[in-house]
Structure 1
């Protein structure tokens, strides 16, 4: 990892990396676990913002589909 990336590590990035690692491990056998986990951590420093943005968009879509929200819109 690069020095600048190490300084950006926090709990959320590590949690994101571990979750990616677990998901990949369920799908296939990971032979070089330490190396793969290192790659997950490095990639998470760059991916987490994108994943948070996408999940925020999905939450907003589900919020707008909520029956009470639609009722308010219809009632004016």
Structure 2
């Protein structure tokens, strides 16, 4: 158990497993990794659906019968 004044050990962001980089090389590597992580696209925003894919477009009103019905089928009711 740790004392109340001590902070628990955190995992390091990067771990060098081979070689001995100097401070400048390690700083450059950290900057590149942080830049790539911040440039990742955000997937939380919902994608806008195309109006052509809208299921409501498949539902249509009943076709009118009688004289002028062909014209009424192309124009919405006024």
- In which range does the TM-score fall when normalised by the shorter chain? 0.3 to 0.5
- Mark the structure with the bigger radius of gyration: 2
- TM-score normalised by length of structure 2: 0.33
Structure in which a larger fraction of residues adopt helix: 1
**Greater RCO, CA 8 A, separation 6+:** 1
- TM-score normalised by length of structure 1: 0.34
